Structure 1
Amino acid sequence: MRVALILVLAAFGLFSTYVMWQVGYLGIWQAGMSSVGAWQVLVDLVIMSWIALGFIWRDARQTGRTVWPFALITLAAGSFGPLLYLLLKPSGRDSALRAA
């Protein structure tokens, strides 16, 4: 799972960097508001970001992790927040000790 998260984060990060270079941050939002179909996709992504934040918030409370950096990244950059949260999740014995 960790390798898949790294690959997705790297590929999406490179693509996002390219898009930002082409149209800028505001250009992404403008494209998301250019038609009723684009609005539907934008609203869908916002809803999914809020759902992901709910899961992150609950998991962070249960495991003693800090939620704020991931919440801010999610609000500013979408799926980068949840991807980083999953990627940086403590593994093995350390996470079992924190949950206890």
Structure 2
Amino acid sequence: MHHGDEVFITKSGKYYHYFDDDCPTSSSILKGKKDAQKVKEEEAKEMGLTLCKHCAKEYEEDMKERQGCAGASVLFIGAAVASVEFFAYVIGL
């Protein structure tokens, strides 16, 4: 998952990469097999670079998971509130 606002850019690349070992390029960089420079994501965009397809796919999946977790949390909290209200009704509060 992407954290922070810095990204990797390679010397010959047209793309920038998140610090995520699911991306083959980032994985090579993190293992020291490929050289790269760290820059702010905004800076990479200003340079005309785009997010690599592997990182974009992972980012999209992470966002969907976060949305799913948020929906599950709301459902869980709603069920807990309903249970408390039901219990209060049963005991006559």
TM-score of the aligned structures, taking structure 1 as reference length: 0.36
From the CA coordinates, give the structure whose radius of gyration is larger: 2
Give 1 or 2: higher strand fraction: 2
Structure number with the higher helix fraction is: 1
